[in-house]
Amino acid sequence: MAPSTGNRVSARVAAVSPSATLAVDAKAKALQAQGESVIGFGAGEPDFPTPAHIVEAAVEACRDPKTHKYTPTAGLPALREALVAKTRRDSGLEVTPAQVLVTNGGKQAIANTFATLLDPGDEVIVLAPYWTTYPESIVLAGGVPVVVSSDESTGFRSPVADLEAARTERTKILLFVSPSNPTGAVYPRSEIEAIGRWAVGHGLWVVTDEIYEHLVYGSAEHHSMPVVVPELADTCVVVNGVAKTYAMTGWRVGWMLGPVDVITAATNLQSHETSNVANVSQRAALAAVAGDLVAVGEMREAFDRRRRTIHRMLNEIDGVTCIEPEGAFYAFPSVTGLYGREIRGRTARSSAELAELAIDEAKVAVVPGEAFGAPGYFRMSYALGDDDLVEGVSRLAKLFGDAV
């Protein structure tokens, strides 16, 4: 029998919010199960299948009894070697295999990193709009997220002056992500350099999330902060994974790159939590990162086409404005122009209420900005089929056009 005194769930875990993005997806799927035609802009995952050569490598691995066993906690030696080579090829960062820890997705790389670096009360500067997992992961590790907000006026990028205004004696880490989820912002090299130099100048760690490194469009380019500012080598952790680049969200393979002492400590932690990533998934990831980038290029082309379509169509809706996303696969339109309008008998005064209207009345799933520390916006993933995208935005245009 449960003890009659005390809380059944710890205060630490009770304080964790459910993932808003997964909640939107769950609602959309439940409506679909009832036979409704729902268009989902909620999920942050490519709509493509994993490229065939990667799947083949996994099938082969399944048949090999060696793959039925544990691997070293830090990952298959061949995968760690391949990640060293892939990192050199893609960003130019030089690391050794001892600086690589293979994790259960980028998500575990982030959780490991904060658990390894933070002591209670240490502050982490988090740039909003932020990916919804970041603050939760920091709090679970005993840290304190200090949010620095930005908006369209700077392209959702934070200048050094704003970071400096948030810095205190307790600041230990700057958390950086470019391209960004949820805004699609991509920092140019000069701004990355300025931020990196500021971090070095104040002895701060940088945790940089490069999971969308290959998804940049037009003239935007991805630059890795520890490459632009090599002085960060000893105080920087890079987070990455195969999920977004190779349409491999379900395989759960990510990694962290960092100084050897941090990677060793994080490996010890992971050895007691989850041990190694599924052996078969590691073999699939090996095929992905050791292979060429042809499939990635094809997917990027499709995302780019959809990006231009969604950007154009959203701006055609009265009350909606959207800056052009330059990376990842999200548009982040402002919807404050719709506040206070009567739409199908309801008057919404927040992006959360507008998102509810969208799913209830138009069967269109979007994630409200509240989930990203940025009320007033929708996050709309354009990693869905071209026809669905057009149909979904058309439904929103009709719904919001019905306003009186």
Ligand X SMILES: Cc1ncc(COP(=O)(O)O)c(C=O)c1O
Q: Note the residues at the interface with ligand X (CB under 6 A).
A: 44, 105-107, 131, 177, 181, 209, 211, 241, 243, 249, 254
The CB-of-357 to ligand X minimum distance in angstroms stands at: 25
Three-state SS annotation for the chain = CCCCCCCCCCHHHHCCCCCHHHHHHHHHHHHHHCCCCCEECCCCCCCCCCCHHHHHHHHHHHHCHHHHCCCCCCCCHHHHHHHHHHHHHHCCCCCCHHHEEEECHHHHHHHHHHHHHCCCCCEEEEEECCCCHHHHHHHHCCCEEEEEECCHHHCCCCCHHHHHHHCCCCEEEEEEECCCCCCCCCCCHHHHHHHHHHHHHCCCEEEEECCCCCCECCCCCCCCHHHHCHHHHHHEEEEEECCCCCCCHHHCCEEEECCHHHHHHHHHHHHHHCCCCCHHHHHHHHHHHHCCCHHHHHHHHHHHHHHHHHHHHHHCCCCCECCCCCECCEECCECHHHCCCEECCEECCCHHHHHHHHHHHHCEECEEHHHHCCCCEEEEECCCCHHHHHHHHHHHHHHHHCCC
Query: Which residues are paired to 208 by β-bridges?
Result: 176, 238
Which C-beta is closer to ligand X: that of 225 or that of 320? Answer: 225
Structure tokens at 127: 């740039």
Which C-beta is closer to ligand X: that of 205 or that of 372? Answer: 372
For residue 36, give Cα distances in angstroms to 27, 28, 32: 11, 9, 5
The CB-of-210 to ligand X minimum distance in angstroms stands at: 9
Which C-beta is closer to ligand X: that of 229 or that of 242? Answer: 242
Q: Is residue 204 within 8 Å of 174, Cβ to Cβ? A: yes
Which C-beta is closer to ligand X: that of 177 or that of 359? Answer: 177
Among residues 159, 103, 183, the alpha carbon closest in space to that of 367 is found at 183
The CB-of-133 to ligand X minimum distance in angstroms stands at: 7
Which C-beta is closer to ligand X: that of 107 or that of 307? Answer: 107
Which C-beta is closer to ligand X: that of 143 or that of 254? Answer: 254
The CB-of-209 to ligand X minimum distance in angstroms stands at: 5
Taking residue 309's Cβ as centre, other Cβ atoms within 10 Å add up to: 16
- Tell me how far apart the alpha carbons of residues 394 and 72 are, in angstroms, rounded to a whole number: 50
Which C-beta is closer to ligand X: that of 196 or that of 241? Answer: 241
Which C-beta is closer to ligand X: that of 128 or that of 313? Answer: 128
The CB-of-401 to ligand X minimum distance in angstroms stands at: 31
The CB-of-316 to ligand X minimum distance in angstroms stands at: 27
Which C-beta is closer to ligand X: that of 131 or that of 303? Answer: 131
The CB-of-179 to ligand X minimum distance in angstroms stands at: 8
In the bound complex, which residue of the shown chain has the CB atom lying closest to ligand X? Answer: 105
Among residues 397, 391, 400, the alpha carbon closest in space to that of 38 is found at 391
The CB-of-285 to ligand X minimum distance in angstroms stands at: 11
Which C-beta is closer to ligand X: that of 280 or that of 320? Answer: 280
The CB-of-317 to ligand X minimum distance in angstroms stands at: 25
The CB-of-17 to ligand X minimum distance in angstroms stands at: 16
